Amino acid sequence: MAPKPVPATDDSGPKNAEPPSDSSPAYSVFTRWERRMMVLLVGFAMLFSPLTANIYFPAMSKLEADLGTSAQLINLTVMSYLVLQAVAPALFGDLADAVGRRPAFLSMFALYSVANLGLALQHSFPALLTLRMMQSLGASATVAVPYGLVADIVTAAERGGVIGASMVATNLGPIASIAVLFRAKYPQFDDTTIGA
């Protein structure tokens, strides 16, 4: 039996090949507007971790006096917050991969909200330490899960720009905490005197 003839080729491939299709499959089922809204919400959620971490520092001496404890113990709350802030993204990232982004995100945001409510009502150092750790678990994972969400909804080529846009909120957290604390410490400065 004679071998079948092979079409003649040059550097561009076979002569009989079909032209590539202009309609490639969609990467995401979400529309461009829906993806932008998700990025906006993700950016807003990413604001909480740095806001919570930075708004605490100026209040440390007041907490020390109110709770009748030492500066070392108050510093322990900062250290425990930072340690859990480093560990939580790995834990919640795996949880988000296993159960889905939405349940993981809602559960950690609920944990964050409950911890904030508890912090507002607590009057002892053990409660402060425990609730700060819970707050860190909830808030710090709000940065990890959005990275996975962004990877789910945009192509690799778009990912850097989308992450950059959502990271703006992470950088606004410290600025917002300074504004809140300045307003609380110096109430005599209101909107009318700042611009004057």
User: pLDDT per residue over 89-133, tens digit each?
Assistant: 887 778 888 898 888 888 988 999 999 999 999 999 999 999 999
Query: Looking at the predicted structure, is the pLDDT value of residue 81 above 60?
Result: yes
Decide which of 37 and 175 is more confident: 37
Q: What is the pTM of this model?
A: 0.71
pLDDT, position 5: 52
Decide which of 37 and 170 is more confident: 37
- For residue 9, the cross-strand partners are 14
Decide which of 22 and 101 is more confident: 101
Distance of alpha carbon 144 from alpha carbon 93, whole angstroms: 6
For the beta carbon of residue 156, count every other beta carbon within 10 angstroms.
Answer: 8
pLDDT, position 118: 96
User: What's the pLDDT band for 187 if we cut at 50, 70, 90?
Assistant: low
pLDDT, position 24: 54
User: pLDDT per residue over 123-157, tens digit each?
Assistant: 999 999 999 999 999 988 777 788 888 888 888 88
Give the helix ranges, DSSP H, for the chain: 32-46, 48-55, 60-67, 71-99, 101-121, 125-153, 156-185, 191-194
pLDDT, position 123: 92
Domains for the chain: give ranges and CATH numbers: 30-187 (1.20.1250.20)
Decide which of 15 and 48 is more confident: 48
The SS3 of residue 8 is coil
Q: How far apart are the first and last CA of the chain?
A: 96
Q: Which long-range contacts (CB under 8 A, 24 or more apart) does 3-10 make?
A: none
Query: Looking at the predicted structure, is the pLDDT value of residue 13 above 50?
Result: no
